Structure 1
Amino acid sequence: MAMAQGRGSAAQGFALGFLVLCLLLGADTAGAATYNVDWSFAAGSWPSGKTFRAGDVLVFSYNPAVHNVVAVDAGGYNSCRGSGATHTYTSGSDRVTLVPGTNYFICSLSGHCGLGMKMAVTAN
């Protein structure tokens, strides 16, 4: 009878440990904020005064017939070119999860980036 109790205790311990692990992993995700970005020619000033964390989500809203969102590196951001592009979004309602450091975004269509449709967001 002691063996059956031992196996039951081990299973309960495993289940409890698994539950605690799930709660700890979920706690970091639950702390993530979602920000709605009006992706427009004034987008560059949008992050001003906001504090971002890695894991936060930006939701870019725009008309996909005339804009896109391109995640680029610092060079692509500064030159308004898709160099170093990691992803191009085209849905008009794109969800992008921030990574640690500075996240750069441009619109690569019709010279829009040069007209101010670009944004740098730093996440801690």
Structure 2
Amino acid sequence: MGSHNKVLFCYLVAATALLIGATAETHTVGNDIGWNVPPGGSIAYRTWADTRDFGIGDTVVFQWSNTHDVAQVSQTEYDNCAATNPIGGIHTTSPYNFTINSTDPYYFMCSVSNHCSLGQKVKIQVGAAASSLTTSAYFTLILAMAIYFSNLM
């Protein structure tokens, strides 16, 4: 029976390590192109965001050169490229760091000239990052319990 407890203990330690490993990440918008008018229109930032797992506590970094800004806006303003009432103001100094603090989607755009209509806008959908590590940890814990109980039989 002692060896069964050791096996369970090892799996519980592994599951705990996975849970602790669920740390915040930093995401630089657009990677190499940064926060600029993207080549190819809005698909560049949509593709970038779709390949990321954003979680609560993560930081989204907007870095640019030349004349740009960052405005967090409502979905309607995002859809219409109109920063008439930006949430938290317009940020004109690069880099601008934004920390994700809820699972609601976030909408950002550049309010300079026609930059938004040229594709300089991004939607950040939250939820996948934290849950993927947590799911792995829970799976490991369930696997450990299954192995433990199968060894008792």
Report the TM-score, using the length of structure 1 for normalisation: 0.70
Which one has the bigger strand percentage? 1
Q: For residues 56-96 of structure 1, what are the alpha-carbon distances to aligned partners after superposition, in whole Å with 9 as ceiling and x for unaligned?
A: 10111002x41000000101100101134112111110100
Correspondences of 1:29-108 after superposition (within 5 Å): 31-37=23-29, 38-42=34-38, 43-63=45-65, 65-87=66-88, 88-98=90-100, 99-108=102-111
Question: How far 1:41 moved relative to its partner?
Answer: 2.4
Between the aligned residues of both structures, percent identity stands at 29
Q: Distance in 2 between matches of 1:83 and 1:103?
A: 16
Partner of 1:3: none
The answer to whether the Cα contact below 8 Å between 1:75 and 1:84 also exists between their aligned partners in 2 is no
RMSD over aligned CA atoms reads 1.9
User: Any unmatched runs of 5+ in structure 2?
Assistant: 1-19, 39-44, 128-153
Q: For residues 17-37 of structure 1, what are the alpha-carbon distances to aligned partners after superposition, in whole Å with 9 as ceiling and x for unaligned?
A: xxxxxxxxxx69x81111112
Q: What SS does the aligned partner of 1:114 have?
A: coil
Report the TM-score, using the length of structure 2 for normalisation: 0.57
Which one has the bigger helix percentage? 2
Question: How far 1:45 moved relative to its partner?
Answer: 2.7
Q: What code does the residue aligned with 1:36 have?
A: T
Question: How far 1:102 moved relative to its partner?
Answer: 0.6
Runs of 4+ in 1 over 3 A off after TM superposition: none
**Larger RCO: Structure 1 or Structure 2 (Cα < 8 Å, ≥ 6 residues apart)?**
2
User: Any unmatched runs of 5+ in structure 1?
Assistant: 1-26
